[in-house]
Structure 1
Amino acid sequence: GLTVAQVRADWDTARLAGLVEVHGDSARSGWRLRAWDRDDSAVLRGWVALFDAWSLASPEPSDREHADIAEVVSAMPQLLSFLQLSAGPVPVEQLLDLLRQRVTELRTERCEVPYGPAPDPVAPSGGGLRAVDPAAPVVLPEPADAVTLAPLLDWALGALAAVGALTYGEGQATLTPLGSWAVWVKLEQICVAAQSPAGNIEVAAEDMLRGCAQLRPNAARAEYRAWLAARPVGGAVTELLEAARGEDALLRGLAFEALRVVGAPAEPEVRAAAEEAGLRPYALLWLAEQEGVDPEDAHEVLTREEATWLWVDTAAAVADHGEAPLLVRHLESAVQPTVPALLDEVRAVGHPRTVQVLVALAAAHPDPALARAVRRAAFQVHTGG
């Protein structure tokens, strides 16, 4: 009984919410649809994704300039915050006046005075005034016009109503409980981002992880949350996995700690990363924990070879960034019951840092006989024996 337009609208809504994914000319269920029945937070995150994409949920007015539409989209967060603070119906006329003010502010912020050759500074006794070239044109912003903005506000409020963020009619708009919650979440993210304790919020993932390397676990998680709050989740996950693919094993482990803070939205990319040999053990542990396995038991999902590869990778991180006693204690975490068995399987696993790890372990271990055996194993790997 649906029209073609209704079917298309529902399909687009499902895509925006992450329930379906389209790849070329085929479609498949999105991770949120797979998690729908067991994870209430996935449902809420799916709705937030739809809320974030409100401007795509309804066709843009075809008779308006794209620049005008972009200004209204940029101004809407302020209007939504006002609606939330009002905690009730707000007349559209009041929203239109607020929109006009905000669009005028945006135009003023973009307005620039062209710079020619720098004039000589003038330093009168009163302060740091500078001479201005009288020939340089001063660009004044065009004030926003309420008549022009009214149809665009109508479109924006209608689009937000279409995704369930507000109710709109009889000359007023009111945030729904979902809409109020979403605005609160966005404001909370801004506050979290502003409280980056170690000041790594502006840097790339690799630099952020390096900055967190010396922090205690709770402080590092706070830093991960702040860094993530300042970025779209998809790009942040991609950036973290790219850092994990580097040569520094410590960053690999920290990247997956940060991905634990991301949670379920990272699942599709982490699942894909499980196909890469260098990331597979970390990805499998992450996925097991997401599926509810106790972190202490999660290692049981790894094969013996994967566990050995992870042991070498972790040892590489300790060798590069830790102290010798830590490397010696790392022996106790191996799944093999004896050192000869560990050496046999380490030689076979083919980790690119095997030689360096074994040499560092031989130099650190206080038992001369064990150190000789480890050094011999390093030599055999180095020579291909």
Structure 2
Amino acid sequence: MRRATAARRAGPPRPPEGTPAPDELAAQARAVLADAVRLARWTATVGGRAAPPRPAPGGTLPDPELQRAAAALELTPRQVQVGWDRARLAGLVELRDGAAHPGWRLSAWDRDDTAVLRGWVALFDAWSLCHPAPCGSDHALVAEVVEAAPQLLSLLHLSSGPVAVPVLLDLLRQRVAELRTERHEPPADGGADPLPGLLDWTLDALVEVGALRPRAGDGEVALTPLGNWAVWVKLEQICVAAQGPAGHIEQSAEDLLRACSHYSPGPARVEYRAWLAARPVGQAVAELLQVARGDDALLRGLAFEALRTVGAPAEPAVSAVVDEPRLRPYALLWLAEQQGCPPEEQMALLTREEATWLWVDTAAAVADHGEGHLLLAHLDTAVQGSVPRLLDEIRETGHPRIVQVLVALAAALPDPALAKIVRRAAFEVHTGGE
């Protein structure tokens, strides 16, 4: 059995027969995002004139900017608004320092089909943000419908053809009831049934992002080639993880991260993707951030590695934790990376105090889970440049693991005199002395 599993995983799985080639899929994705790309390029042009668009705090374009873009691109304000939302979700536009700038994906758009497909998948994953739910909808029920959508898409994929809307509605009712049972919640109230309207909203939104074909006259629903490919990719990620000896898709976020702490980055990313594909994005991001708030510094760092696999759909949740001291340095670096900031410039976004706190937190992870030589290597990354200066500033961080880090560092240092200084600092921090 293990040999058969290894054989299945030896090479990349082949998509279903009839799936267009990657360049054809990328061409379809480019067509869906055509207006978004035009807006991103317009952003690059006006930014080059030192007048980049300045979105509202929520990221939307204010009316003057909408009108400016509409006039420049000969689009309606509504087309600009839709294209702008898509550009942000697909990583074509990024917000930095209150202004909009072209994203890194834009520079690769015409030459890199993989970048195009990943940009479209980010839009596909965020379909519920692209098309507002009907006014007056129950927020909890909307969230349950979003959580049930992968089952609807899986049915459409596995059916290999159109599916009648009543069949999808029955599946939606069943899945929402299961979710309420799993959470020990009462069934939906009697009276008017909101699920048909919410199913229509779901289908319309998926049409807008290019995952579903517009409904035919008989009301049947079918995936586009692009949507069929995307659902297949997600199902394949789940199946590979479930078949393999290292599958963790049914485990909690904490158990997933603990297991992945023993993997190299490549296999860990495979596990992250499979785990993420098996649950709604919002729920997965919330679980990872909750683990990051814990006491284990290693899991904190791994949680943000997993969030890198999520990409743009996680940005609102990560932005919301920037003011939490324990998560702030990680969140700032994650956001900078998402916004295309070069790696060599990212650390400059942290204050010296934040960089020192992050150094201590990472050192705590190394001390708990690594070896002495790794801690010495980490010592070379401190912004202070010398042990005495590091000791002076490390006390001010208030990090709860300072003593343990200093004790572990002293044990690893080959220089007895320097080790003595570090041990003395650990004692002073522990006793509150000067």
TM-score (norm 2): 0.58
Q: Does 1:354 align with 2:397?
A: no
Q: CA deviation at 1:383?
A: 1.6
* Amino acid paired to 2:389: A
User: Structure 2 residue aligned with 1:167, among 193, 211, 214?
Assistant: 214
Question: Residues 130-155 of structure 1: CA distance to partner in whole angstroms, max 9, x if unpaired?
Answer: xxxxxxxxxxxxxxxxxxxxxx9999
In 2, Cα distance between equivalents of 1:250 and 1:155: 41
User: Structure 1 residue aligned with 2:233, among 188, 212, 218?
Assistant: 188
Q: Conserved in 1, the CA contact under 8 Å of 2:329 and 2:358? A: yes
Question: Residues 105-145 of structure 1: CA distance to partner in whole angstroms, max 9, x if unpaired?
Answer: x89xx9xxxxxxxxxxxxxxxxxxxxxxxxxxxxxxxxxxx
Question: Could you say what secondary structure the match of 1:168 adopts?
Answer: coil
Q: Conserved in 1, the CA contact under 8 Å of 2:122 and 2:312? A: no
Q: Conserved in 2, the CA contact under 8 Å of 1:192 and 1:229? A: yes
The answer for the alignment partner of 2:367 in structure 1 is 319
Gaps of 5+ in 2: 1-56, 61-83, 94-102, 104-115, 138-144, 179-194
The structure-2 alpha-carbon separation of the partners of 1:302 and 1:233, relative to structure 1 and needing over 3 Å to count, comes to: same
Q: Does 1:305 align with 2:353?
A: yes
Q: Does 1:217 align with 2:265?
A: yes
User: Structure 2 residue aligned with 1:266, among 314, 331, 334?
Assistant: 314
Question: Could you say what secondary structure the match of 1:274 adopts?
Answer: coil
The structure-2 alpha-carbon separation of the partners of 1:35 and 1:156, relative to structure 1 and needing over 3 Å to count, comes to: closer
In 2, Cα distance between equivalents of 1:351 and 1:169: 60
In 2, Cα distance between equivalents of 1:96 and 1:171: 8
In 2, Cα distance between equivalents of 1:49 and 1:35: 11
In 1, Cα distance between equivalents of 2:336 and 2:307: 13
In 2, Cα distance between equivalents of 1:351 and 1:318: 15
The structure-2 alpha-carbon separation of the partners of 1:363 and 1:57, relative to structure 1 and needing over 3 Å to count, comes to: same
Question: Could you say what secondary structure the match of 2:307 adopts?
Answer: helix
Question: Could you say what secondary structure the match of 2:214 adopts?
Answer: strand
Question: Residues 78-112 of structure 1: CA distance to partner in whole angstroms, max 9, x if unpaired?
Answer: 663367x34xxx6xxxx559949x97xx89xx9xx
In 2, Cα distance between equivalents of 1:58 and 1:170: 26
User: Structure 1 residue aligned with 2:156, among 55, 76, 80?
Assistant: 80
Q: Does 1:279 align with 2:332?
A: no
Q: CA deviation at 1:218?
A: 0.5
Q: Conserved in 2, the CA contact under 8 Å of 1:245 and 1:278? A: yes
* Amino acid paired to 1:355: V
In 2, Cα distance between equivalents of 1:302 and 1:340: 21
In 2, Cα distance between equivalents of 1:73 and 1:201: 18
Question: Residues 168-220 of structure 1: CA distance to partner in whole angstroms, max 9, x if unpaired?
Answer: 344474747xx442233122111101112521111000110000001011011
The answer for the alignment partner of 1:378 in structure 2 is 426
Moved more, 255-264 or 40-49: 40-49
Q: Conserved in 2, the CA contact under 8 Å of 1:32 and 1:46? A: no
In 2, Cα distance between equivalents of 1:172 and 1:309: 58
In 2, Cα distance between equivalents of 1:75 and 1:186: 10
Q: Conserved in 2, the CA contact under 8 Å of 1:32 and 1:43? A: no
Question: Residues 336-375 of structure 1: CA distance to partner in whole angstroms, max 9, x if unpaired?
Answer: 1211101100112111100110011111111100000001
Q: Does 1:35 align with 2:88?
A: yes
The structure-2 alpha-carbon separation of the partners of 1:305 and 1:75, relative to structure 1 and needing over 3 Å to count, comes to: closer
Q: CA deviation at 1:276?
A: 0.7
The structure-2 alpha-carbon separation of the partners of 1:340 and 1:201, relative to structure 1 and needing over 3 Å to count, comes to: same
In 1, Cα distance between equivalents of 2:302 and 2:154: 36
In 1, Cα distance between equivalents of 2:290 and 2:391: 30
The structure-2 alpha-carbon separation of the partners of 1:56 and 1:81, relative to structure 1 and needing over 3 Å to count, comes to: farther
* Amino acid paired to 1:335: V
Residues 1-385 of structure 1 mapped to structure 2, 5 A cutoff: 28-29=58-59, 32=85, 35=88, 38=93, 45-46=122-123, 49-50=126-127, 76-77=152-153, 80-81=156-157, 85-86=160-161, 95=163, 99=167, 160=203, 164=207, 165-171=212-218, 173=220, 175=222, 179-196=224-241, 197=244, 198-384=246-432, 385=434
* Amino acid paired to 2:430: H
The answer for the alignment partner of 1:115 in structure 2 is none
The structure-2 alpha-carbon separation of the partners of 1:59 and 1:188, relative to structure 1 and needing over 3 Å to count, comes to: farther
The structure-2 alpha-carbon separation of the partners of 1:264 and 1:170, relative to structure 1 and needing over 3 Å to count, comes to: closer
RMSD: 3.8
Q: Conserved in 1, the CA contact under 8 Å of 2:214 and 2:221? A: yes
Question: Could you say what secondary structure the match of 1:333 adopts?
Answer: coil
* Amino acid paired to 2:271: E
Q: Conserved in 2, the CA contact under 8 Å of 1:270 and 1:283? A: yes
In 2, Cα distance between equivalents of 1:280 and 1:73: 33
In 1, Cα distance between equivalents of 2:321 and 2:312: 15
Q: Conserved in 2, the CA contact under 8 Å of 1:55 and 1:73? A: no
In 1, Cα distance between equivalents of 2:366 and 2:343: 21
Q: CA deviation at 1:324?
A: 1.2
The answer for the alignment partner of 1:14 in structure 2 is none
In 2, Cα distance between equivalents of 1:161 and 1:187: 21
The answer for the alignment partner of 1:63 in structure 2 is none
TM-score (norm 1): 0.65
